[in-house]
Structure formats: C-alpha cells, structure tokens
Structure 1
Amino acid sequence: MLATVIHAARDIRIEEVPDPVVSTGRDAIVRVVASCVCGSDLWPYRGVTPTKHAHRIGHEFVGVVEQIGDGVENVRIGDFVIAPFYLCDMTCENCRNGFSTSCLNGGWWGSKDRTGGFADGGQGEFVRVPDADGTLAVVPGGMPAPELIPHLLTLSDVMGTGHHAAVSAGVTKGSTVVVVGDGAVGLCAVLAAKRLGASRIVAMSRHESRQAVAREFGATDIVEERADEGVARIKEPFDGIGPDCVLECVGTEESMDQALRSARPGGQVGFVGVPNGGPELPMQTMFSTNVGVRGGVAPVRNYVDELLPEVLDGRLRPGLVFDLELPLTEVAEGYAAMDERRAIKVLLRP
C-alpha cells in the first residue's frame, strides 16, 4: 500500500509500506477515503520540529472499516468512521471528564502505541487503528454523500479544534470575539463562535481568499494590521477596550502577545495554536488586566457527538476550508502549497 513518509525537513515522499494487520483484539483496519495536511504537519516539514528518523505522517482521516479485532464491539465492518488526530479509549477517567487527549491509555498517530508498535500515519491508503471502539466515531447511515466528506473530515481536527478555542474562551450568546489566525483552525474558530451565538466576530487576516471564507463563516469585521497597530484597530469597534473573547489559533510568541493585548480587561483568551517558541505567559500583564488564558490540545473526539448532527444536516459546512484537492501521490505538492500559503488546507484522496 501507499503512504506518506517524512524523511527530513521538506522531504515528503509517497512510498510503498506494508499493509496493516490486526495485531490486537481492539484493532480495526480502515480504508482511507480522504485525509488531509494539517498546519501542525508543517512544523516538521519546515524543520522546526526535527525528524530524527523516517516515519509515516498525517493524523486526520475518514474512511470505511475493513477489518476488526475480535474484541471490538462498537465498530462494525462497513462503517464509515471519523478518526480524531489521536488515539483514545473513551473509557478512562480523563476521557469521561471530556479530555480524551489526555487518555490514560491513548497515544498519537506515528508514535509508539501501548502495544509497543508504532501507530500508522493517516496519510495513506489504509490505517491500523488501535482502541478502535474509543478512537473511531461512527457516522450513522453508512457511506455519506460525496459532498459531505470534506465537512466530516474537519471533525477529525480543525472544526473540533476551533470549537475548543471558542469553548475555552467562554464564547456564548452575545459575546464579542476576535480570532487570531486565518488558517483552517482560525477559520473554523470563526464558525464555532458564530454557532455559539457571538454577536460580533473580528477575523485577523491579510489574505483575500481567507477573508472571504471568514465572512462566509460569520466574521463581521476583518483586521489586517498586526502588533501595536493591530491591537489598536481591534479595540476600535469595542469602545476602545477590546472584545470579551480572543481565540488564539497560531501558536507563536507574536500571536499569543496579540491575543493577550487585544482582550478587554477581564476578558478570556482561548488558545489552541500548537506552541512553537516564545516566552512563558506574561504574568504581570495578565495580573494587571485580569485577562485569563485557557485552552490547549483540543479533545475533538469528545466534541464529535455535538457537532456531527449539524454537519450531516448542512447547518455546519466547515469543509469550505479545503481549497485544494490532490491525489495522495501528489502529497509533496500539498505540503508545499500549504507551506507557501497557496492553499488554506489540502484534502488528499488515495
């Protein structure tokens, strides 16, 4: 079978790898129908996160269950499933408390799993899924209509992650919101804020194509400026004091600084950008403004049941973040397109 393998910075290859096999009674083998490239995949692609050895990559996919172990109870052969960007059992205390990313028995695609082997990457033709009963979310009704697949694929990561930013920041009916970051997660955060009832949503974006998606998702205002000028522009529509909630969806020192200085006194920052460099949180700034910070890696598996019905009936259309579709064999071009900001998010079809 074919799968994506990263060898080093900017060295993405499509290679023949062994077909996956059921190795425990809890496993399932999924035939991938669609996968995608994530903004966080760009950190190893750019060399920010070093690649010490060649390994499979990718952590967002949907597909059809082809095989199951004899201990799998909730997933059946032929089910169409959504795989979140991590492994979880959905039975431990952390999972039941709503934070399946901290599953006591979980793991990450491409890393060692609890059997001692390496979990597959999601950008391939087939994937072995450990703890299939917990990890996989079954889409009712079997194979969905083709036009729904991109929207369902976002529930494996970016839509759930944008939702986590909004929930962490306390967005509710009538909230005023600013979103820092115009990648797929930031755009989904705009959609999540709109869904939760925000009355005014400012998207920070310098790119016309991304601004258009942000407006379609519910942004009422666009701010292109950054740093001090950006903070001043953000505060203008909010009586000079800033919004209730700021959703930080990038993960850099500059984006967090932008978020903290943009929120009104007593406001809340919800952060989901994968941290890559920068100092510790500025406690003096937070102390003097009473701005709170909450968030982290998004427990998207816990959000699927809430978001899935609205994707299936068309109320949520987060798949609009995909603006480039490629065959899996052209995955290297997909990475390059996202790295060069020629695409918001790339969908891959095996």
Structure 2
Amino acid sequence: MRATVIRGPQDIRVEEVPDPALRHPGDAVVRVTHACICGSDLWAYRGVAAREPGQRIGHEFMGVVEAVGAEVASVAPGDRVIAPFVWSDGVCGYCTEGLFTSCPHGGFWGQPGSDGGQGEAVRVPFADGTLVRLPADLPAELEAPVLSLADVMGTGHHAAVAAGVRRGGTVAVVGDGAVGLCGVLAAKRLGAERIVMLGRHEDRTAIARKFGATDVVPERGEGVQAVLEAVGTEDAMRTAISITRDGGAVGYVGVPHGGSAGVDIRQMFDRNITLGGGVAPVRAYLPELLADVLAGELDPSPVFDLVIGLDQVPDGYAAMDERRALKAMITF
C-alpha cells in the first residue's frame, strides 16, 4: 500500500510500504477513506520534533473496517469507523476513568513500528477500545465534521473542559489554528456568553466569529475567567496565564515546545490560577460530540480549507507550513 512517511525536515514523501495485517486477536485493519494533516505534524516537518527517517506520520483518520481479529466484538468488516489519535485497550483503570491517553497498552499512530493515519490502511490495536462505529449511511456533508472529532474538535473541547468553561462565562482563546478555532466552537457549545479570540489573520478570525467568537483582539487584553491555550509555545502560555483573571483557569492543549513553556508558578500561586489540560482523551469525548454532529448541532468543518489526495500530501504540508492553508483534509 501507499503511505506518507517523513524522511527529514521539509521532506515528506508518499511511498510504498507493507500492507497492514492482523497481529493479535484484538486487532482490526481499517481501509482509510479520509485523513488530515495536523498542526502538530508541522513540528516534525519543521525539524522541531525528532522523527526517524522513514517513520510514518499522521494520526487523524476514518474509514471502513477491512478485517478483524477473533476477539473483536464491537465492529465488523464493512463498518464505517473513526479512530481517535491514540489507540487504547478500553478496559484498564485509566480508560475506565476516561483518561484513554494514559492507557499503559496504548500508543500514538505513526510512532515507530505502527501505521500512520496518512496512508491507505491502518492496523488498529485494541479495536474494541479504540474505534467508534459510524452510521453506514453517513451523509457526505457530515464526513468532514466527523473527521474533525479524531483530534482537533475533541482537543478544543478538552481545553474548554479543563478551563472550566461554563454557561454565561467569559472565555479567551490563544491560538488561531484549527484547535484554537475548535476551542471557540467548544466554548460556544458549553454556553459561554463572551468569547474573545486572540488573532491577527482575518481568514482565521472570520471562522472564529462564525464559530461564536464575540470579540477578536490582536493581543492580550483584560482578564477573563477561562483561557484556552492551543499553541504550545512559551509566549502563548505566558499570554494565557497573564490574561486569566484571579481565580480563573487555563486549559492548555498546545503541544509544549521550549523550556518551561511559559509557566510562572509564583504568578499562578499568588493569583489562584488553575492550570489544567494536557493530551486530550478524545476517545472519551467522541460519543457526545458525534451525537451533536449527527444531529446537525455541531459543525467544525470550516477548519478544513484544503482538500487533497494522497499524492498531494507533501504539498499540503508546505501549504500549512506557509500558512496558505489552515488544515488539509486527505480523501482516498
């Protein structure tokens, strides 16, 4: 089969790789129909996050089950499914608490020895604990909204939950990428009355307004009760903490890069600021978010502003890196 691999900084290729096969009774093989490029993939593309030459890449996908192991009970060949960006066994203590990302048997798509999501097929370990079945008659117009639930919408929702967004509250969002924009949508869904988007790029702030942002400002402003940090740099975290009012909370989901990541413990201590978040346990949020998408009540699809085929994936990385695209969707 063909899949996306990374050979080094700025070097993304689509190459022939071995077809995935069942290795364990709990495995499934999924033929990918839709995938996408994540902003976090760009850290590897830029050489900031280390990858082995030839390592698979991509962690957001949906598709059709092609084969299942003898112990798989929740899905069958022919089922349409979506996968969160990590696999998990679904039965350990962490999984039963909803923290699927801490599963001791779990892992991330694209890690050495595993398939990446940006390929024609994926072997899914622990299929029963990982995959979520979709309606067989899923309308084409809902495919993009559903795909966003594999990562960016669930991650934006995690930031909002971690920051304690509540009905009638005020929220600020730091980061105008796909996750930050989904954080705006999540805050609106949870009932926030005022949502402030920090951003300077008109194409992205236009989506933020469509998603429910009531204010757009280019830089830090007055303090708010809840702040969503969706970048991961020191400057972004510093800004997030600084604009949180005393007694407020920061929900951080940007993958941290650089030193202390801008966390000043003394500042947080003196002002009673709570810091929560981390790797989003998307599998825990998938059922409720999927229900809203299927009901027509949640539509994150505007974050996809570029649709490409597998052969065009290297161009998709370049477009996102150069900010000519917000988020690329790959169709097979």
> TM-score interval w.r.t. the shorter chain?
over 0.9
Task: Give the TM-score, by structure 2 length.
Answer: 0.98
Distance 1:261 1:221, change over 3 A: same
Are 1:120 and 2:115 counterparts? yes
The residue aligned with 1:178 is 172
The residue aligned with 1:72 is 72
- Paired residue type of 1:250: V
| CA deviation map 1:47-85 (0-9, x unaligned) | 001223321110000001011111101111111111111
The residue aligned with 1:239 is none
The residue aligned with 2:303 is 321
Q: Which runs of 5+ in 2 are unaligned?
A: none
The residue aligned with 1:136 is 131
Q: How many Å separate the matches in 2 of 1:24 and 1:313? A: 36
Task: Give the TM-score, by structure 1 length.
Answer: 0.93
| CA deviation map 1:149-174 (0-9, x unaligned) | 11000110000000000000000101
- Equivalent position to 1:267, from 248, 257, 263: 248
SS for the counterpart of 1:111 is: coil
SS for the counterpart of 1:264 is: strand
- Quote the offset at 1:143 in angstroms: 4.1
The residue aligned with 1:204 is 198
SS for the counterpart of 1:244 is: strand
**Residue pairs, 1:31-180, within 5 angstroms:** 31-111=31-111, 118-139=113-134, 141-180=135-174
Q: How many Å separate the matches in 2 of 1:24 and 1:257? A: 45
- Quote the offset at 1:278 in angstroms: 3.1
**Residue pairs, 1:204-243, within 5 angstroms:** 204-225=198-219, 230=220, 234-235=221-222, 242-243=223-224
Q: How many Å separate the matches in 1 of 2:66 and 2:105? A: 24
- Paired residue type of 1:164: H
SS for the counterpart of 1:310 is: helix
Deviates more, 1:253-262 or 1:73-82: 73-82
SS for the counterpart of 1:251 is: coil
Are 1:304 and 2:293 counterparts? no
- Quote the offset at 1:257 in angstroms: 0.2
Q: How many Å separate the matches in 2 of 1:145 and 1:64? A: 15
Are 1:349 and 2:331 counterparts? yes
Q: How many Å separate the matches in 1 of 2:185 and 2:217? A: 17
- Paired residue type of 1:213: I
Contact 1:191–1:217 under 8 Å retained in 2: yes
Q: How many Å separate the matches in 1 of 2:43 and 2:164? A: 29
SS for the counterpart of 1:81 is: strand
SS for the counterpart of 2:3 is: strand
Deviates more, 1:274-283 or 1:311-320: 274-283
- Paired residue type of 2:93: E
The residue aligned with 1:338 is 320
Are 1:290 and 2:290 counterparts? no
- Equivalent position to 1:193, from 187, 194, 205: 187
- Paired residue type of 2:63: G
Contact 1:79–1:143 under 8 Å retained in 2: no
Q: How many Å separate the matches in 2 of 1:193 and 1:51? A: 34
Q: How many Å separate the matches in 1 of 2:133 and 2:52? A: 35
Aligned length: 331
| CA deviation map 1:298-348 (0-9, x unaligned) | 000000111111101111001110000011100001101111111110001
Q: How many Å separate the matches in 2 of 1:334 and 1:135? A: 27
| CA deviation map 1:206-234 (0-9, x unaligned) | 11111111001000000112xxxx2xxx2
